[in-house]
Structure 1
Amino acid sequence: MLEELPLALDRDASEPLSVQVADGLRAAATSGLLRASDRLPSSRALARRLGVSRTVVASAYDQLHAEGWLEGKRGSGTYLTTAPAAAPAPNHVAADPDLEGVGYDLLPGAPCVEAIDRPAWRRAWRAASDQPPVIRKDRAGEPEYRAAVAEHLLRHRGLSAGSDTVVLATAGTSSAVGELAAALLRPGDAVAMEEPGYQRAAGALLAAGIRVLPVPVDAEGLRVDDLPSNIKAVYCTPAHQFPLGARMPAARRVQLVEFARRTGVFVIEDDYDGELRYDTAPLPLLAAMAPDVIVHLGTTSKILSPVLGVGWLVAAPWVAAAVLEHRDRTGTSPSPAGQRVLAELAAHGDLARHLRRLRRALPPRRELVVTELRRHGLTVVGDDAGSHVVVPLPTAEAEQRAVDAAAARGVVLDGLARHHLSAQHDTRAAPPSTFGIALGYAAPSSHDLRAAVPIAAECLAEVATRQPARPSAAPARS
C-alpha cells in the first residue's frame, strides 16, 4: 500500500528531508490513506524507494514514534498505531436536553431488522460463503434462489409461479422497473403511475427516456377510470398503495386487468411489502389473476434488509426473454451473493420463521403509533398492513412545519409532498395536492420508537387544523 502513497520529496526546500518524510507519513495517516495497524516498510526499504539515506528515514520514524504515531514490534516491524477518528454521522440536534445528539428515523420504507434472528442470519451468510466462487453469473438468477422465490410466493402470496410464468432474480424494484423500461419500451413511450407514488420507480422510468403520466389515487388505490389512453404500461402498488396505504379491492383489480387486455398495455405490480399483512388474508395478486398482462415485482429490502440487494420478477415468458436479452446486451445482472443468502434462509425454514416473527412484531408497533396519534386528536389513514401509517395535513405549509418541528427535536419525518412527480422529477407536472406525513414504524428499535412517536405526535398536533384534510384513503381500523 505504501508504494502507492504520494510521498514526494523536494530536495530544494528548506525543510530537512527527514521532516518531509515524517510530514508525508503523518498526512497519509490523517487523510485515511494509512490506517491504524498498517505495517510500514523497514527504514532501509523506504530509504531505497525514496532515494535517500537510511538515516533520513530512521530520523522520520523516530519523530513519529515520539509523537505516538508508530510503534515497533520486535521481529515484526513498524506499525501505525494512531489514526484520526471517523467523522461522526450528522444527527438532528434535539431541543430537549434528554435527546441531545439523538436522531430518530421514522421514515417509511425501511425493514424491521430488530426481528431478524441473528444466529440464523449469520448461518445463512456463512453457508453462502462456503459455496464455490461464481465464474459466470446466471443472468436469470441463481437456480436455488429462483426456486426459493417460487416457493415463497406460493406459500406467502398465493402465486403459483413457473407454469405459465418465469421467475427472474432482480437487483430490487427500482432496478427491475428500469430493466422493464429498457427491454419492453422505447424512449418517448408513456407509463402511467400513481400520484402520489413511488418516485424511485418514476426516476427509473425517466432515466430510460420514458414519459411518466401521474394518475390520481383514492381510498381504493389507483383510479383506473382516469388512466390515459396513450400509454404502454401502468405502474401501481395494489396490495398497499405507496405512500397512502390503500388496498385495491377486487372489483377495481378486475377493472385494471380488463383495461390492460383491452388496450394492449402491461401492468407492473410492485408488491413491495405484500408479506406484511396481519389483519386479514391478502387479496390475490394481480399476477395470479392475469399472468398474461401483469409483471409482478417483489423485494427482500422490506422483509429482511436492503443489504441483500435482491428482488424478483415474475412475468410471461416473452417478458422474461426480453429482460434476459437486455441483460445480455448490457452485461448486467443481479449479484449472486444476496441470492445465495436468501436461498439458505429459505432452505432451512428461517425465512418462513422470520416472516412469522415480523407479523407478530409489527402489529404492536402499529398500535403504539396509532394510539398515540389519535390521543393527540390526529387522523390516521391507511390499511392495517405494511410498516407505515399516514397522517393527513391540510396544506404544504403545515406539512413542512411538522417536518421542521420534528427535526428540531431529533425526529426525522417524511412529508407526502415529495412523493409527487413535480416535487422530484418534472416541474411541469401538476404541483403536489396531497399533504401529510408518512410515518414509518418498522426501522427504529422498540426503545427508540417509544421515545420518538410522542414527539412526532406533538409536532403534528401543533400544526394540524380542524378543516377537512386530504388524502381520503382508507381509514385505519383499530
Structure 2
Amino acid sequence: MWISFQIHNHHYRQTSIVGTMPRISPELHLTLRLPDTDAPLRHRIAESILDEIRVGRLRPGDPLPSSRALAAHLTVARASVVDAYDELCSSGYANARAGSGTRIAPGADVAARAHVASHTVTRTSDRAFAAAPGTPAARWDLTPGHPDPALISTVDWRRAWRTAAAAAVTSDVPSPGAHPELRRSLAVHLRRTRGIAARPSELVIVPGVAAALRTLVAAAELGGRDVVFEEPGYSRARTVLDDSGVRTRSVSVDGDGLDPALLRATDAAAYCTPAHQYPMGARMPVGRRARLVADAAASGTVIIEDDYDGEFRYDVSALPALRSIDRGPECVAYVGTASKILTPSIRVAWVIAPPALRQGLVRALDASGEACCATTALALAHFIDSGALSRHLARASRTYSARRAAFVTALQQQLSAVDTDGAGLAGIEAGLHVVLTLPDSVDDVAVSAELQDHGVTVPSLADYRTTAGGPRGLVCGYARLPESQARGAAEAIGRVVRRHLG
C-alpha cells in the first residue's frame, strides 16, 4: 500500500521493500521514497536507492533486490527497475555481476553523500570525494565506462538543446519509427566514421543499450536459446540478456577477442565487442572478423555487435565494423550508443538489425513502450548536423590519447621498477580503459579492495568473470584522469600491487 507524505517541501511515496538474495542474513530491508516529480520513473527509482545509500541503510557490498522482486513490490514495469539499476551502474554507484546480481559499489556511500542529487542520478566526479569520518577519500576514480562530459563544448551543447526546444510541440506518441531527424543524422555519421552503409529507415532509436538488447532478444526470439557471450565480458549486458530469458554461454576470449571457431551450431546468437573487447581490450583483426561474419551468415546465427567505444583508437588504423563486412547486413545487429562518446545521461542508443529481424524489432519495441525523448533526439541530431559531434570527437580523442599516454607510461614505470613477473598491460590501443593483468596466484578482488582503502576506486576482472578461473587484473578507466594526476594514481596502484606480488 502506498503512503503519501511530505519531506522538505517535496511529496514522496513510501513503500517497504524486502529483497531476498543469496548471502543476506536474514533479509535486506529497504524503505524507498519515490519523488512525485515529472522525472522518468527510472530516475526516481535510482534516486530513492541513492537516498538509502546516503543514510547508510545500503552499504558497499550490499546486494540489491532482484529487478523482478523490486518491480513487483513497487508495482511498476520490470524494465523501469532494470533501467534504474543500469543507471546506478553506469554512474559508478553499483556493480552488476552475472550470477551475483547487482551490488552497491565500493565507495558508493562516500560518493552519494558528497554528490547529493535532487531527483536525477549524476555521475561521480573526477574530484576527490568528500569522505565521511573514518572513511578514506577516493582520490582517484578509475571506474571504466565513463567518458568525461567536461570535454563537451558548452556552447555547442546549449545551442543544440535550444534548437531542439524551439521545435514545434506535437502530440505524436513516441514510436520505433519516430525521430527521423536523428536517424538521418546517424546514417550519415555511421557511414563516415564506421563504414556502415544504412538507410535512415533501417535505424531504430532506443533508450540505451539495455533496451536495445531486450528488444533484440524479443525480435529474434532468443528466449530459452543459447547466446554466446565473451568471457570475461560486459557484465551489465550479460545481466540484461540473462534477465530476458536467454541462456548465455560463456566463451573465453583470447588476444584477438572472440574466436569464431568456438561457436556451435546450436548458438542462436553471439554478443561481442570487436572494436575493443570489454574488458580485456583486444581488437579483433580483420581476418577473424570476416570469418565470424561468414560463419554466422552460413549458420543463421545473429551477431550482436556492441560498438560501445569504437570511435576511440590511438596510433592504430581503423578496423571495419562487423556490420560493414561482406554479408554483415545479413546477420549482424549493430548496436551503438551516445553514452561513451558524450555522456550516459543522454540515454540514446541505436540498432541496425538484419532485414529478417527489422519488423520484429519494431513490433517488440512498440510493445515494450520503451522510447527516447523526442527533444533529446532532436538535440542530438542538431549536435551531429552542426559538426559539433565531429569537433567533440576530435577534441576528446586528443585528450584521451594524452591521458592514456600519461597513465600507461606511469604504470609501465611502476611495473619496471621491481620484479613484476606475470603482470602487464593489455588493451592500450583503443577505448577508454587499460587492463593491468596480474598472475593467477594474485587475488585481484583483494587488490581492488585494498586500493579502495588507499583512495583508488578501480574494479577487478572478477567483476567481469563468471567462474573462479579466468584472467586476474584491474580494469583502469583513464578517461576522467587528468594527466597531472596519472603519476600519483599509478604510484598508488604500484605500491599495492607490489605487496600482493610478494
Short-chain TM bin: 0.7 to 0.9
The answer on 1:362 being equivalent to 2:400 is yes
SS at match of 1:414: coil
Contact 2:447 2:500 in 1 (8 A): yes
Q: What displacement does 1:315 show? A: 2.2
Deviation per CA, 1:345-375: give whole Å up to 9, x if none. 1121101000100111111111111111111
SS at match of 1:401: helix
1:307-326 pair list within 5 angstroms: 307-326=345-364
Q: 2:461 aligns with which of 416, 437, 440?
A: 416
Q: 1:183 aligns with which of 214, 219, 228?
A: 219
The answer on 1:384 being equivalent to 2:429 is yes
- Specify whether residues 125 and 103 from structure 1 end up closer, same or farther in structure 2 by C-alpha distance, changes over 3 A only: farther
- Specify whether residues 458 and 122 from structure 1 end up closer, same or farther in structure 2 by C-alpha distance, changes over 3 A only: farther
Amino acid at match of 2:361: V
Deviation per CA, 1:268-320: give whole Å up to 9, x if none. 11100000113222111110111111111111000100111001111233322
Deviation per CA, 1:313-352: give whole Å up to 9, x if none. 1123332211111122233323323322211111211010
Partner of 2:472: 435
1:243-254 pair list within 5 angstroms: 243-254=279-290
Partner of 1:336: 374
Partner of 2:389: 351
Pairwise CA RMSD:
2.6
Contact 1:240 1:386 in 2 (8 A): yes
Q: TM-score, normalised by structure 1?
A: 0.74
Q: 1:159 aligns with which of 196, 221, 224?
A: 196
Q: 1:149 aligns with which of 186, 189, 209?
A: 186
Partner of 2:490: 453
CA distance in 1, matches of 2:281, 2:464: 13
Q: What displacement does 1:397 show? A: 4.9
Q: TM-score, normalised by structure 2?
A: 0.70
Deviation per CA, 1:252-282: give whole Å up to 9, x if none. 1122112212211110111000001132221
Q: 1:104 aligns with which of 110, 118, 140?
A: 140
- Specify whether residues 309 and 94 from structure 1 end up closer, same or farther in structure 2 by C-alpha distance, changes over 3 A only: closer
Partner of 1:206: 242
Partner of 2:176: 139
Q: What displacement does 1:250 show? A: 1.2
Relative contact order (C-alpha < 8 Å, sep 6+): which is higher? 1
Contact 2:136 2:453 in 1 (8 A): no
Amino acid at match of 1:154: R
Amino acid at match of 1:360: R
SS at match of 2:317: coil
Q: 2:343 aligns with which of 305, 324, 335?
A: 305
Amino acid at match of 2:389: L
- Specify whether residues 409 and 270 from structure 1 end up closer, same or farther in structure 2 by C-alpha distance, changes over 3 A only: same
- Specify whether residues 134 and 396 from structure 1 end up closer, same or farther in structure 2 by C-alpha distance, changes over 3 A only: farther
Q: 1:260 aligns with which of 296, 307, 311?
A: 296
CA distance in 2, matches of 1:177, 1:280: 30
Amino acid at match of 2:414: H
Contact 2:175 2:366 in 1 (8 A): no
The count of aligned residue pairs is 378
Contact 2:442 2:472 in 1 (8 A): no
CA distance in 1, matches of 2:203, 2:229: 24
Partner of 2:18: none
Q: What displacement does 1:450 show? A: 5.3
Q: 1:407 aligns with which of 428, 437, 452?
A: 452
CA distance in 2, matches of 1:330, 1:414: 33
1:227-246 pair list within 5 angstroms: 227-246=263-282
CA distance in 1, matches of 2:168, 2:483: 39
1:79-118 pair list within 5 angstroms: 87-89=113-115, 101-118=137-154
Amino acid at match of 1:146: R
Same amino acid, percent of matched pairs: 34
Partner of 1:291: 329
CA distance in 2, matches of 1:216, 1:435: 13
SS at match of 1:291: helix
SS at match of 2:248: strand
- Specify whether residues 101 and 134 from structure 1 end up closer, same or farther in structure 2 by C-alpha distance, changes over 3 A only: farther
CA distance in 2, matches of 1:87, 1:227: 46
Larger Rg: 1
For structure 2, list consecutive stretches of 5 or more residues without a partner in the other structure.
Answer: 12-111, 117-127, 416-422
Partner of 2:124: none
Q: What displacement does 1:100 show? A: 5.9
CA distance in 1, matches of 2:329, 2:379: 28
Q: 1:398 aligns with which of 433, 439, 443?
A: 443
For structure 1, list consecutive stretches of 5 or more residues without a partner in the other structure.
Answer: 7-27, 36-85, 423-429, 466-478
Contact 1:5 1:33 in 2 (8 A): no
Q: What displacement does 1:152 show? A: 1.0
Q: What displacement does 1:94 show? A: 8.0
Q: What displacement does 1:102 show? A: 4.2
Contact 1:239 1:283 in 2 (8 A): yes
SS at match of 1:243: coil
Contact 2:458 2:476 in 1 (8 A): yes
Deviation per CA, 1:44-101: give whole Å up to 9, x if none. xxxxxxxxxxxxxxxxxxxxxxxxxxxxxxxxxxxxxxxxxx9545987889x9x963
CA distance in 2, matches of 1:186, 1:400: 33
CA distance in 2, matches of 1:93, 1:374: 30
CA distance in 2, matches of 1:340, 1:437: 39
Contact 1:94 1:409 in 2 (8 A): no
Partner of 2:84: none
1:23-62 pair list within 5 angstroms: 31-33=7-9
Q: What displacement does 1:433 show? A: 1.5
- Specify whether residues 102 and 283 from structure 1 end up closer, same or farther in structure 2 by C-alpha distance, changes over 3 A only: closer
- Specify whether residues 182 and 396 from structure 1 end up closer, same or farther in structure 2 by C-alpha distance, changes over 3 A only: farther
